Amino acid sequence: MPPKFSKLALQQGTSSAPLDRRLTLAPGDAACISTFPSSLDEVGFVPADPFQRFMTESMIQLNNRLGPLERTVAGLEDQLASAAGSHASLSHRLGVIEQGIALNQANLTKLKEHANDQERRARRFNLRFLGIPEAPNENPLAVMETLLAKHGVDVRLSIAHRCGKFLQVIPGAEPPKPRPMIIKVALLRDRDAIIGVSKQLREDDGISVLDDLTRSDYVKKKAEWPLVKALLTQTTAEGGRGEGQTTLKASFKNGKWFVNGVSFNNPSKSD
């Protein structure tokens, strides 16, 4: 930062040597430099030489401008330091918030998995039937009891109902597919007995018996089925067997695919 002078004296020369005149410090000013004069009045006299007068006025004007600039720079430096401190504080707070979000997301994932597991357990006693003919004002429980009795299954059903909204038959149009039927048995052994005749139901009546999956399990089963199917197809090709013939059997249970009793690992989630 340039020095500031308190007292200033100008060497007064003759008009014959104006270029030799210089702006110099008065005796003793070197030890007490403090404030540069703010006007010619503070200099104590008006230089006779025009060039000296011009230079003196120019230096005074520059110094008068320099002071506010120095104060502005100092203020900006303080603001910059304050902004840097605020940025550091905000960065820390942001890091804490991000950690909290990550923790909440992990907890939410665990809660979803727990809720899905509880729903899966509640649906263990359920079975879903596809392809059962539907009639207006039917009694789903009586329909299921009659169907199962036809195949020699005598079980106690707790609930039976159709899924979805009933669709009216439009004259001249193709009749809508019957809505799925969901039943709930009282005992797991009754469920196993129904599954035991599922092949007979499919072959004789065109009715499929499926597990009543949760929404999450259904999405996962549908998404991973192409990979499981590709594995079965590849094994068939390597074994030299006919189309549709394979030694592997796939099943979906408790939210996982199993191939010949071994859990199927999704290659896309190996990372």
Give tens-digit pLDDT for 11-46. 343 333 343 333 444 444 433 334 556 665 665 666
Q: Which two three-digit tokens encode residue 169?
A: 């038959």
Where does 124-241 have alpha helices with state H?
A: 140-150, 188-196, 198-205, 215-239
| CA 38 to chain CA mean position, Å | 63
pLDDT recorded at residue 16: 39
Helix (H, G, I), strand (E, B) or coil at 208: strand
The residue-averaged pLDDT of 220-226 equals 91
Query: What is the token pair recorded at 257?
Result: 């695919």
| Side-chain half-sphere exposure of 200, counting CA atoms within 13 A | 12
- pTM, 2 dp: 0.58
* pLDDT band at residue 156 under the 50/70/90 scheme: confident
Residue 183, Cβ density class (10 Å: 0-12 exposed, 13-18 middle, ≥19 buried): buried
Rounded CA-CA distance 172/136 in Å is 18
Task: Concatenate the DSSP letters of all residues of 148-185 into one string.
Answer: HHHTT----EEEEEE-S---PPPTTSPPPPPPPEEEEE
CB 209 within 8 A of CB 242: no
Q: Rounded to an integer, what distance in angstroms lies between the CA atom of residue 112 and that of residue 109?
A: 5
| Phi, psi torsion values for 25, nearest 5 degrees | -85, 145
Tokens encoding 162: 């159709």
Instruction: Tell me how long the chain is.
Output: 271
> What pLDDT, on a 0 to 100 scale, did the predictor assign at position 34?
44
**Considering the chain, what is the average pLDDT of its residues?**
79
Give me the sign of the Cα torsion angle 89, 91, 92, 96: positive
Name the band, by pLDDT with cuts 50, 70 and 90, for residue 174.
Answer: confident
Strand 181-185 relative to strand 126-130: parallel, antiparallel, unpaired?
antiparallel
Hey, which of 132-136, 164-168, 235-239, 246-250 has the most confident mean pLDDT? 132-136
pLDDT in the model for residue 52: 78
More confident residue, 266 or 269: 266
Q: What is the pLDDT of residue 45?
A: 61
In this prediction, residues 192-198 reach a mean pLDDT of 93
Percent pLDDT > 70 in the chain is: 76
Burial class from Cβ neighbours inside 10 Å (0-12, 13-18, 19+) for residue 126 reads middle
Q: Which residue has the tokens 């939210």?
A: 255
